Amino acid sequence: MNNFWIILFHTYLSKLKTKSFIITTILTVVIVLGLTNINRIIDLFDKNGGKDTIAVIDESGQLYEPFKQQVNSINKDIVLTQYKGNEKDAEDKVEKGDYSGVVSIQFNDENLPVATFKAMSIADSSLFTDLQTGLQQVKTMLAASQLNLTPAQLQKLYEPVKFEKVALEKNAKTEEELNQARGLVYVLLFIIYFSVIMYANMIAMEVATEKSSRVMEILISSVSPIKQMFAKILGIGLLSLTQLAAFLLVGYYSFIKNMAAFKDGFFGVGNIPVATIFYAVIFFILGYFLYATLAAFLGSLVSRIEDVQQMITPMTLLVVAGFMIAMFGLGKPDAPFITATSYIPFFTPMIMFLRVGMLNIPAWEAFLGIAVLITTIVILAIFGARVYRGGVLMYGKSNSYKDIKKALQLTKNK
Amino acid sequence: MVLKLEHVTKRFGQFTAVNDLSLAIPEKEMFGFLGANGAGKTTTFRMILGLLDHTEGRITWDDQPIDYSTSHLVGYLPEERGLYPKLRVREQIIYLARLRGMQKSEALIELKAWLERFKIPDYENKKVEELSKGNQQKIQFIAAVVHKPKLLILDEPFSGLDPVNVEMLKEAVLALKENGATIVFSSHRMEHVEEMCEHLCILHKGSPVVHGSLKDIKREFGKKNLVIHADFSLDELKNFPGVVKSKITMEGIQLQIEGEYIAEKILKEIVNKGFIKRFALEEPSLNDIFIEKVGNSYE
């Protein structure tokens, strides 16, 4: 077998077998499962199966029924019961935990309802909002009947205004599509961001470990550093795909199973545009190669593992900057700033992907971005391989970017 | 299969690490490199292996340049020892052997044989970080020779080992030579080179100061050592014409003299003075030559 493949599979398999890799993978799978099952988990912790029982003290004797009806139509999980005792007893029962809260309703001077809500804490604002909305509607109905409005008139009054957004561009995404795209792009951006940082780190560490344990000198006397560098980058790349495949399979399966409610909402899993996934894969792979190459040659410059982090910090900052810009771009993907930064190679993987995911940009723009990326990767690879070749032979205290020059000098012929 | 270095020079910027080095190391020969720290030994080895490009000159083996296409024929023990600390001995050696073009099964057989030879067969499944330094060195040595190289480059193979292990490794190196490997090795220890090498080269600040076969070098050096033990004072011999260096010892005196004829004169001078317990004319040791050529800067 060719040396290239031996190194590739050695890198892949030896990393795959490490405890830290297995633990991280399992932990992340658990988190993914947790996130996609979040509804169930929240339910699990809610007392009474997530239902709030509210005691209602109705001093008027007429308000309870309409109030109950309204609240029921807003939120089925709020159970109202009429409480016949006095307010003090009801409060005691709230303290004992029999009720989540108590509402006392009465008429005011104008014959309209006023109410007080008492609970152990008023931190649960959604419960209060629901109750308030219910009572508001009761009040509106009462006020309307006092004014002698017919139900038809009333309906007219409350009918929402018709207000549509229309994009003039032919293939522009509709509002609904945009929301779906935003969710998907957001998730994919996160995946690109995390994996680039994580796996680039892994490569830099791997190179630095071989260097600091001095096994490097034997390695480079057997296999050319360039071959070695790319075998390593591909090996870790394969590892990243394995890990991501595990996450995505588990995540997708669990998502489909548990979140049918969201299916047509934020994420729009039901109809993910094929092009978006295609571009996500392309930009993920290219982004990985870009940063992996950078990480490999930065890793080759340090002599001790402790210095790896320091050395690759600027690279990490680049990724973070790209991610920040992309986050800003989620809200305003057509900003000129976003368009400009999508052609800066270190940002392209995230920002160009954001643009193709959110906007309907012409295909040539996306391909220009891809071309810029590939060119940069090739340049970095050629340059990086030369630095790597010299860098792996260099041992010393200094760990600065001046070493790049030294490393290049080492490989110079004349 | 001659390893040839012709007028090889290596410069790092302004600094000349190796200056106009020419050598020819015939097949199945053991060649020793001597030099103080920073003399250019490791740089020379790295150039031979193609890890560094030489600035000038030519390096060939069997009239071919050494590159990655011949790496399966070359074994290398770097001065800075290093293996994967977390890998088991077996995984490690097999990985490195496969990179040198060996089959897995074949590598395993070789590994077992070597572990047996070094009397550490039960280390096969241990992690390298669990081994003592001396045993790590043995594993490192196995890594360099497991693929049966034709050209073996050993950078300070015996440093940091106890005498028993030095002997064990020496025997192994000699056995490899018997099997037809060309071996180049460097050492700080003169006696190792003196004992094992037919040819040697002393590097000083990148330049070869002595180069040739051990016998020739000693003959050309000309000077001899004279050891005299007597029951009378020999102190005055210090200033005897033709004496280059002298050292008073417990039992007498050690002299370095310009040639055999001086010994004759000294004997005539002292023969009637009393009882001479010992009068021995010795070949100069490599150590003497080294100190003479490289100077006292060497520790």
Q: What whole-number distance in Å separates Cα of residue B74 and Cα of residue A223?
A: 12
* Structural tokens at position A370: 């891809």
Q: How far off is chain B from A216, nearest CA to CA, in Å?
A: 8
B249, amino acid identity: T
Choose one of A158, A182, A212: the last residue of a domain: A158
Residue of chain B nearest A17, judged by CA positions: B87
A41 touches chain B (CB under 8 A): no
Which among A308, A294, A289, A290 is positioned nearest to A208, based on CA atoms?
A308
B51 touches chain A (CB under 8 A): yes
Taking an 8 Å cut-off on Cβ atoms, the answer to whether A210 and B143 are in contact is no
State residue B242's pLDDT score: 84
Residues of B in contact with A414 (CB under 8 A): 55
Residues of A in contact with B91 (CB under 8 A): 14
Taking an 8 Å cut-off on Cβ atoms, the answer to whether A223 and B95 are in contact is no
Residues of B in contact with A219 (CB under 8 A): 96, 99
Shared domain for B131 and B169, answered yes or no, is: yes
State residue A260's pLDDT score: 59
Q: What whole-number distance in Å separates Cα of residue B93 and Cα of residue B75?
A: 13
State residue A46's pLDDT score: 64
B290 touches chain A (CB under 8 A): no
- The neighbouring-strand residues paired with B201 are B33, B211
In total, how many domains does chain B have?
A: 2
Q: DSSP alpha helices (H): ranges in chain B?
A: 41-49, 89-99, 104-117, 133-145, 163-178, 190-196, 214-221, 260-270, 286-294
Is pLDDT larger for residue A249 or for residue B222?
A249
Residues of A in contact with B50 (CB under 8 A): 221
Shared domain for B187 and B159, answered yes or no, is: yes
Shared domain for B123 and B246, answered yes or no, is: no
Residue with tokens 């015996």: B158
Shared domain for A186 and A269, answered yes or no, is: yes
Q: What is the ipTM of this complex?
A: 0.76
Q: What is the mean pLDDT of residues A305-329?
A: 88
Is pLDDT larger for residue B110 or for residue A167?
B110
Taking an 8 Å cut-off on Cβ atoms, the answer to whether B53 and A213 are in contact is no
Shared domain for B121 and B84, answered yes or no, is: yes
Choose the weakest-confidence range: A12-26, A167-181, B190-204.
A167-181
State residue A170's pLDDT score: 59
Query: What is the distance of C-alpha A140 from the center of its chain?
Result: 41
Q: How many CB pairs under 8 A join A and B?
A: 66
Shared domain for A147 and A236, answered yes or no, is: no
**What CATH number is given to the structural domain containing B91?**
3.40.50.300
Residue B159 domain flag: yes
**Which residue numbers in chain B have pLDDT < 50?**
297-299
Do residues A304 and A295 touch, judged by C-beta distance below 8 A?
no
Nearest CB neighbour to B49, from listed A221, A223, A411: A221
Mutate which of A9, A19, A217 to disrupt the B interface (most B C-beta within 10 Å)?
A: A217
Nearest CB neighbour to A222, from listed B52, B81, B99: B99
Residue of chain A nearest B72, judged by CA positions: A222
The domain of B268 spans 223-283
Shared domain for A276 and A387, answered yes or no, is: yes
The domain of A68 spans 50-158
